[in-house]
Structure 1
């Protein structure tokens, strides 16, 4: 599926009400090649920006004179490919999405990939030797062009009917809506957002009316600047883009606004967070960093570093800066004990 590279002007970021939260655009790939001992991840588009921020803030806690403690790095889902992730690593095709990141973790050793960013939980196709380490709450809703033909709300049944092509025009949902043809889109294959969304709306096989292949959470794609288009969208990613200026380049909401499901609004526009009501629905999800179980339980420097970063007592789960990072990228921090909890694949 060809992806149009046209970029739209970004909407000016709204002022943040969290004085302690970092501001500015998202960071990108490591500025220099990580060392062989460093903890390096690939995978999900949804969580790449917050992991990049984690990398900068965690590494800042390690004195430059310390050459033994592993540092944290994360490679974006898109960009030039192939990539060499760290010193001595095997060159690999850049993994784009949760599934691709997990595959890279499976097909390589810690000499190349230490963890996979994942916006979905374990699947039956994942190796049973992997641990999914939770650290935040996100949710998935749907987005459409501001001022377009899509309504403010769709039900789960509406979404299922649209993505199975049983409903193809807006007036079939509501006679007051235009009779124009609905244009449903899905993110690229391997996207955790795509698989979670389809599972949540009860679709195992989407219909021929669906166009797949748009990069997830990028409203800048010109195909989506259409009054009849709709696409699943990470609520946290949207909050980060719209309210905290975390989007840049193609990674912006563009002309899209996020919409309600079953009458529940996904965004608390006053507090600039995912609404408690939406976080209580089936559209809410945990996000994870996936590691090899053997690495996670190891008592060597590598295993100790993984737990020191991602574990229940680790930096991500206990540090105030990490908590502020999550909020500034739209995610809801998990409570003590839940953050760093492990689900086996």
Structure 2
């Protein structure tokens, strides 16, 4: 399902992907001739627009590296991807955790599987950037070998189907009880909690925010492969964590595929008295107060090997360093808000500027 989002974005803005090969016309994903990105579903649509070309901010913008194109691979789609010309096909990294794992394998030469349908194989040099909707957590280390570079600010709530007016706002305590299965109904209506796939940054962030370490037995897809940010997976009286930025981008029609129009679905706030966004589709606007919340607001990241952006290291890669340098105009991590800029494109996709531009290092060993 998610792969169609990329195809739709390209078609909508009339992008001609020159010098980019395709592994299959059915999936129409590029084989990068410079740098490749994998990982988070939450960041993929804005990155697709920025990398493939977009008019979302009023004028045409496309980020390249020395006039070579980048390859941004969706979190969901075919079981295998080919990231570089002549490179191996390997299991698609679905989610933030999987993207970082693939990046680590690309650096170390360790084998990577991605999913059970694709045999593990060496993917050395195939992944340059991992998209991550969550920070490094316990892996943060001041001497870490990976660099988490802030990309944009997002927030998390939940999508729900059915219920009644009381479902529109559920507190962290209520959500914790629902996901631990000590609460099985809301205002007299039975509720079934859903959870995105293992490796999802939204999954790990949401569970941490509501204080859940062990999911209750009523969560019917524990350890499953349910895609994140897809409201069509919901059945009657079900809820699932959802990125506010993704809801906004889908509802505003810039993501290419809109699951927010599925019958009976709505976005729920996890902060009493605060909506995650204001306005009406296709003109939803992020609520900066909700996004700045210390529990449900979050910075998102592009993750790279630290040595490749460190000018003192023999592995320094000037092209990659520029792509993730927030002080460089229209880099992938920049957030200018004037005219045709990467920041304005990100705003159209429901993101705000990150709370900091400071890099966090992580993973003492890979």
Q: Does TM, normalized by the shorter one, top 0.5?
A: yes
The aligned counterpart of 2:196 is 187
Structure 2 alignment gaps of length 5 or more? 2-9, 16-25, 55-60, 108-123
Q: Separation in 1 of the partners of 2:169 and 2:62?
A: 43
If the length of structure 1 is used for normalisation, what is the TM-score? 0.79
User: Does residue 1:278 correspond to 2:290, yes or no?
Assistant: yes
Q: Separation in 2 of the partners of 1:183 and 1:61?
A: 42
Structure 1 residues 31 and 268: CA distance shift in structure 2, 3 A: same
Q: How does 1:1-345 map to 2 (within 5 A)?
A: 24=12, 31-35=29-33, 38-57=34-53, 60=62, 69-109=67-107, 111-125=125-139, 128-145=144-161, 151-170=167-186, 177-178=187-188, 180-212=189-221, 213=224, 214-221=226-233, 224-226=234-236, 228-248=237-257, 252=260, 254-255=262-263, 256-263=265-272, 264-269=274-279, 272-281=284-293, 282-297=295-310, 303-314=317-328, 315-316=331-332, 317=334, 320-334=340-354, 338-339=356-357, 341-345=358-362
Q: Separation in 2 of the partners of 1:245 and 1:126?
A: 34
Instruction: State the Cα distance separating 1:129 from its structure 2 match.
Output: 1.2
Structure 1 residues 235 and 32: CA distance shift in structure 2, 3 A: closer
Aligned pairs, how many? 305
- Flag the structure with more relative contact order, 1 or 2, with Cα contacts below 8 A and sequence separation at least 6: 1
Q: Separation in 1 of the partners of 2:102 and 2:253?
A: 31
Structure 1 residues 333 and 121: CA distance shift in structure 2, 3 A: same
Instruction: State the Cα distance separating 1:121 from its structure 2 match.
Output: 0.2
Q: Separation in 1 of the partners of 2:344 and 2:175?
A: 34
SS in 1 for 2:81: coil
Structure 1 residues 253 and 25: CA distance shift in structure 2, 3 A: farther
Deviations 1:196-239 (A, max 9, x none): 00000011111101122321000112xx131x101110000000
Structure 1 residues 60 and 153: CA distance shift in structure 2, 3 A: closer
Deviates more, 1:130-139 or 1:312-321: 312-321
